[in-house]
Structure 1
Amino acid sequence: MGTYGQAGADAAALHRGRLEAFVVRARRVEAHSLAADWDGLVALAGAPYAVTALGNGEAQVRQEYPAEEIVESAAARVRPLLLEGDACSYLKALAAVGYFCRELSQDTQWVKAARAEWRTRAEPNAARESGYQVMIGYTVTGRTAELDDRKLATAWIYGDVVHHDTDLLKEADPFGLSERFRAAVPLVAWIMVKAIELLNYIRVLQAADLLELPAELFDREVVLTSTCWEHTVRAYAAPVGTPAPADALAPFSDTWIPLSGNAVLRHADD
């Protein structure tokens, strides 16, 4: 194989590895309880609210979001998708799709549009035309502060949840936990939507034999559906200090005695 051919093979292997990492992570996102109601998840990504006019120029704005603990677990699942240094990052997976579809103009345009949308919504310093700004002021001291929803959301994700970024927390602290969480929920939901959409796109490409990913990648266990275990085992006992077998295939020495049928094992703290 020539130099160019080897380079092409190396690039394909690199992109295929990134897709494999993304599929596993995205399937874990897909399995989250928030994604069970797809329409609800899409609506949540749009920061839904209801406005009720109260008269005299006043109105009540109501937003109702899932419990923080639920969104926190979702944020933990999507966080690696945000980090371009992680193998499963969304942008790396998108680039991999672009690589395998580079001869297909329609798919190439989809990848470009998805990349632009991701950068606009997910990157803290990217320019954008939507969102909101929170401003606060203290009449006694004259102190004022303002942050947009994306920076507040980032402070919740990286300050309150998956890290404890003190700089982000310091900047967002005047607005309180409630404002940080309120800003983060739509972003987390939106990332989930984009991840699942890309996952489904990859499934279509895989079915069309464009990716050649391992078939078991789409079926392997990525989340636990049960956390109760019950096993039938062979149990042995030996005096304290008796060496264990060297490995899983090595036999027990004669010092290890099989437990009799009426033996009862108890936890060490009992």
Structure 2
Amino acid sequence: MRANGQAGADPAVLHRSRLEAFVVRARRVEAHSLAADWDALVALAGMPYVVTVLGNGEVHILQECPAEEVVESAAARIRPLLLEGDACSYLKALAAVGYFCRDLSHDTAWVKTARTEWRTRTEPNAEREGGYQVMLADTAAGWTAELDDRKLATAWIYGDVVHHDTELLEETDPFGLSERFRAAVPLIAWSMVKAIELLNYIRVLQADGLLGLPMQLFDREVVLTSTRWEHTARAYAAPVGTPPPPDALTPFGDEWVPVSGSTVLRHADD
């Protein structure tokens, strides 16, 4: 049984359980196709764009993103890390690293910097110097609207993808799906970069003997590399209504006859 923050719980056990949860989730993030090209992922986190001066007082701005479906699957993998209430939360894992490295000044400073960066980039109301603002106006109707990239990104994640937050969708509706997605892409990519960096930091600390995590945690299967299942087994048939064995250790009764010969059985929903 794992400790979940109860009074009197061993803090080392609690922090270790959070690191275990984070490692599993972060390895799923690391295995995502967007992370296959590290340099491209880092570049995507900065949302590069090309500006071409047209010479008539206008400029042409070009931004290219991965397909929405690809980013959507990445968002699903990264989302639990964004939620402080989840066991695998990035900030919980960071706090756990801080606990095990509390006597190491260099690591303590790294944790502090990483925490500030994460909060600044992911929390909607955190003060920051970067980012951008989108402003709209309808001169005929006489209305204006403006939102920053974090609010638009949050609306795509929690309105268009993993939830259907109607308030966020209504607030960002004038800006459209395209602006929400455009804002979310660099946030998702940046979060992936930071999650993988923390995962690698944990790997180093584990190798140095500072964490005491189970070694199989870093090797266990976290994503499927094949979705085709093939098995060699013994098959039995019995009249409809014949009860199956109560468990895997109980042999089949006499009513069950082994299937033999060249019979081909197919299972399909009626």
Q: Report the TM-score range of the alignment, normalised by the length of the smaller protein.
A: over 0.9
Q: Secondary structure at the match of 2:146?
A: strand
Instruction: Give structure 2 stretches of 5+ with no counterpart.
Output: 1-6
Distance (whole Å) between structure 2 residues aligned to residue 18 and residue 267 of structure 1: 41
Shift of 1:121: 0.1
Q: Which residue of 2 aligns with 1:177?
A: 177
Q: Which residue of 2 aligns with 1:68?
A: 68
Q: Which residue of 2 aligns with 1:4?
A: none
Q: Which residue of 2 aligns with 1:165?
A: 165
TM-score by length of 1: 0.96
Distance (whole Å) between structure 1 residues aligned to residue 150 and residue 237 of structure 2: 59
Which one is further off, 50-59 or 206-215?
Answer: 50-59
Shift of 1:262: 2.2
Distance (whole Å) between structure 2 residues aligned to residue 266 and residue 256 of structure 1: 18
Q: Which residue of 1 aligns with 2:152?
A: 152
Q: Which residue of 2 aligns with 1:216?
A: 216
The Cα offsets for residues 84-108 of structure 1, whole Å up to 9 and x where unpaired, read as 0000000000000000000000000
The Cα offsets for residues 164-191 of structure 1, whole Å up to 9 and x where unpaired, read as 0001101011100000000000000000
Instruction: Give structure 1 stretches of 5+ with no counterpart.
Output: 1-6
- Which residue identity lines up with residue 72 of structure 1 in the other structure? E
The Cα offsets for residues 221-260 of structure 1, whole Å up to 9 and x where unpaired, read as 0000000111101100000000011011111111010001
Distance (whole Å) between structure 1 residues aligned to residue 77 and residue 196 of structure 2: 12
Shift of 1:56: 2.0
Q: Which residue of 1 aligns with 2:259?
A: 259
Q: Secondary structure at the match of 2:124?
A: coil
- Which residue identity lines up with residue 41 of structure 1 in the other structure? L
Q: Which residue of 1 aligns with 2:119?
A: 119
Q: Secondary structure at the match of 1:55?
A: coil
Q: Which residue of 1 aligns with 2:45?
A: 45
Structure 1 segment 79-158 matched on structure 2, within 5 A: 79-158=79-158
TM-score by length of 2: 0.96
The change in CA–CA distance for 1:269 and 1:21 in structure 2 (over 3 A counts) is closer
Shift of 1:8: 8.8
- Which residue identity lines up with residue 173 of structure 1 in the other structure? D
Distance (whole Å) between structure 1 residues aligned to residue 67 and residue 268 of structure 2: 37
Shift of 1:9: 7.2
- Which residue identity lines up with residue 224 of structure 2 in the other structure? L
Distance (whole Å) between structure 1 residues aligned to residue 9 and residue 252 of structure 2: 48
Q: Which residue of 1 aligns with 2:3?
A: none
Distance (whole Å) between structure 2 residues aligned to residue 126 and residue 178 of structure 1: 24
Percent identical across equivalent pairs? Answer: 81
The change in CA–CA distance for 1:103 and 1:69 in structure 2 (over 3 A counts) is same
- Which residue identity lines up with residue 117 of structure 1 in the other structure? E
Q: Secondary structure at the match of 2:54?
A: strand
- Which residue identity lines up with residue 120 of structure 1 in the other structure? T
Q: Which residue of 2 aligns with 1:225?
A: 225
The change in CA–CA distance for 1:9 and 1:138 in structure 2 (over 3 A counts) is closer
Shift of 1:261: 1.6
Equivalenced residue count is 264
- Which residue identity lines up with residue 35 of structure 2 in the other structure? A
Q: Which residue of 2 aligns with 1:36?
A: 36
Q: Secondary structure at the match of 1:197?
A: helix
